[in-house]
Structure 1
């Protein structure tokens, strides 16, 4: 675009000079031909500079990643044995340079009770799970394990390996369904994985794939639907026998039938391990035993689904909207 402007200005100026007889016609033609050869080269040089700047940024990021400090991990600390509960007490958190994202959060996750955090997208629900996983440091407050031990006193590797974390964005690797469930564990046997899937009733979903557990699902699960990816992530997490389960929008892409069955599994599993569901959908919240509603970075109200439906809150409003819509049909 700039080349066209420069050439137009040159032709206009040269034409005016020819009319004033201060420039010969042949000289004008020579100038135009000369600049016609130079301008494309200048354009290429400018584009090369853009590519150089992009490469510079890429190298800076690469070096930043390559020289990033590793997390402090020590062999000294508590080792998890019995896992009965996690309690968040007066937890506050913000990202650097931003306003407070989570303010005075008090939540308890325990065995025998299916716990749910309901909130709108972008409200800090996923960040709260990442705080439990110790991906970030709290600004204030504390997170207690079994009501008495601060999770920072637990060996980091032991803590994370004990918790099953189903993230909102499911990572699927290029390989078979079997490999993705066992996470490429060389000790895993196909028979054991199949027995596990049958025990939880998951094989009826995986049998729909062309080769069952031997199906190649492609890089990033290109051969799977969104709901099937979430099923794989859920199965992978359960296969490794977690002592606690954190689920971030784990049914977001599932159909109603599949979601209902996943919640049935959790209803049986809650007596063995503490479970926390984080969601913006009301169906998992209604199937939970206890619900915390997260609004504007705070727990606005909490209670059983039945009690919450009798008051004015996000759960009851969403529920009544759906019921009103169905009544209109």
Structure 2
């Protein structure tokens, strides 16, 4: 009975969200078309054939999710344990990443029936990118299941779905994350660096990231984008983005978590580094490894030089070896160009 009640509430929320987003989209498109028509008639201008990606809106939505993640972390009642120390650092050391599903002319898409899509995507993620946890995870417990929310961001009201919030009662396994799926098909996740958890366990002063963990984070993000792109009608482009915070003085380790072996002793100079990548639906779904490389190499370039060339390091053999090790560790990791069910979802 409780499960049916929760399901009924989610269904009503989906209906309300879909109607709201569809109405907003229709009004926006109608007004835009009218304005462009008047401009064209009065000024002799031809209608625009297309448009660039609206990174301003994407950045505002990303920052809204990131700031909320930081607020949730800062709301903890910190003590003096090693865990308290690590969690306190997360407010300054984390990555906000995500993607936007766009139409052929780079327009945002209305995300219809988001709860159902997110549940289906979460089930697919269990098969291709599960490390005991995965990006945009959907839990069935009614206390932590995703909920429809309304936010006021950049002067606009926008609806969407919010994942599990971070609170003091949450079980901590070395990493916190918080995600949102906005009604205009912009997906954002903010998470801490698992490397920092391992660094404190080793009582090490040296900050580091590892190429393996960078691969894990990027694969989780890209796999979810590929799964959703195959499900959402009209998704012809995918705009991917990352915003890394707290990079200054980090080195790049080779190991899974520990940073004891390094690719290079070069340290990151800047504290923040962000990337942007726009790919077509066919590029993502037909050349997954190539797209993953294009997503990973720019952040690895922070440590490029001094005997480490990210472009030469990121090969099929190296990635297959990482996948094999992770599978032996008990993770479910598969690249989406190796016979995974995502291929069957293509029209």
Q: TM-score, normalised by structure 1?
A: 0.28
- Higher alpha-carbon Rg: 1
Identify the structure with bigger relative contact order (alpha carbons < 8 Å, sequence gap 6+): 1
Q: TM-score, normalised by structure 2?
A: 0.27
